[in-house]
Structure 1
Amino acid sequence: MATVPSHQASPTTIPKRRRSPLSASVASYRPELLSGLAIIEQARRGVNTQQVDQLAQLLGISLKEMAVVLQIAERSLHRFRTEGHLDEQASERLLLLANLTAHGLLVFDGQPDALANWLRHPLRELKNQSPLQLLATISGFGLVDDVLTRIEYGVYS
């Protein structure tokens, strides 16, 4: 088994980040739950990249981590930010993250810091992976949402 040098993070390791205070525009930003059809319709139109910044700051996610969640190169993310909107696939993933965030804020009583910390904490029911690590796949979004639902209803595994 190959080891990763201590100065180099493994691609699946999500480091703990110190969170900066939320700006006024982000502090008031709260994503809303969307239906599957609404996600598809909005994704086809392309999502404004301002939402990338708002979600990243709300959840304490770096742009590098956001690029992993959106499954695009970090350089492409910067290009999209310059253009002002995401393509259809990245838009869909961002809207899934927004939905997950809306659900998480309901579960964690509207506390973005609690949700951000939970996203980085390895969970036994996710085979000791953090929820954020699983968001690199569409199936991971479903698994993380299922865990949030279990927390919401008090069903712990």
Structure 2
Amino acid sequence: MRRVASAESLILRDVPGHINDSEILSFLYTKDINWQYVNAIKTLTDFNDDIISDWLNISVKTFREYKKPQNTFKENVKEQVLLLLSLIKHGIGVFGSVKEFDQWLNRKNFYFDNKSPNSYLNTVTGVKFVDDRLTAMEYGDNV
């Protein structure tokens, strides 16, 4: 497993471990979701700027701008960043490593209409659906 830098470890430690609307809303209104959170997604996963910008529904250029400390985000981008980090935390917990979770996200899957789970991560509902599948796996479903 790749060693996670301290800033990313702290961010991941603080985000909710499961997607729960009240926890997510509380986090959004009490924390400053900033460039460090976006950078944590990039550092924690093996996904490139193109894929992550697609998840956030922004251009690659805008994504790269978001990685700069002086930029502020729209509320919907903050929410998507937080949901993705929560999903990553949950996925690491289920699979035991970032690498295994990344591989699962990239594999076509029957439960995802024979698409890869990462193709669902560009909407709030899609992130929640992937998170629900992770929870199902925790309880013995063959996902």
Coarse TM-score class (shorter-chain normalised): 0.7 to 0.9
Matches within 5 A, 1:4-153: 22=3, 24-25=5-6, 28=9, 30-31=12-13, 32-33=15-16, 35-43=20-28, 46-82=32-68, 83-109=70-96, 111-153=97-139
| Alignment TM-score, normalising by the size of structure 1 | 0.74
Shift of 1:70: 0.8
C-alpha distance in structure 2 between counterparts of 1:121 and 1:60, whole Å: 14
What corresponds to 1:14 in structure 2? Answer: none
How many Å separate the matches in 1 of 2:25 and 2:3?
A: 29
Unaligned runs of 5+ in 1: 1-20
- Check the 8 A contact 2:16/2:24 in 1, yes or no: no
Distance (Å, rounded) in 2 between the aligned partners of 1:22 and 1:104: 16
* C-alpha spacing 1:100/1:129, structure 2 compared with 1 (3 Å): same
One-letter amino acid matched to 1:142: K
Contact 2:105 2:118 in 1 (8 A): yes
Cα distance between partner residues in 2 of 1:146 and 1:38: 16
RMSD: 2.3
Cα shift readout 1:4-60 (whole Å, capped 9, x = no counterpart)? xxxxxxxxxxxxxxxxx5563477453431642342344456511112122222121
| Cα distance change on mapping 1:125 and 1:55 into 2, 3 Å | same
Structure (1/2) with the larger helix percentage:
2
For 1:23 and 1:152, locate their aligned partners in 2 and report how far apart those are by CA, in whole Å: 24
> Which amino acid letter does the alignment assign opposite residue 16 of structure 2?
L
How far off its partner does 1:132 sit?
0.7
Aligned sequence identity (%): 26
**1:5 is matched with which residue?**
none
Q: Report the Cα offset of residue 63 of structure 1.
A: 1.5
8 Å contact kept, 1:22–1:57: no
For normalisation by structure 2, the TM-score amounts to 0.80
Aligned counterparts of 1:38 and 1:133: Cα–Cα separation in 2: 25
SS for the counterpart of 1:92 is helix
AA at the equivalent of 2:90: H
| Number of residues of Structure 1 aligned to a counterpart in Structure 2 | 136
User: Deviations along 1:95-143, whole A, 9 cap, x unmatched?
Assistant: 110111121122113x111111111111111011111111012221122
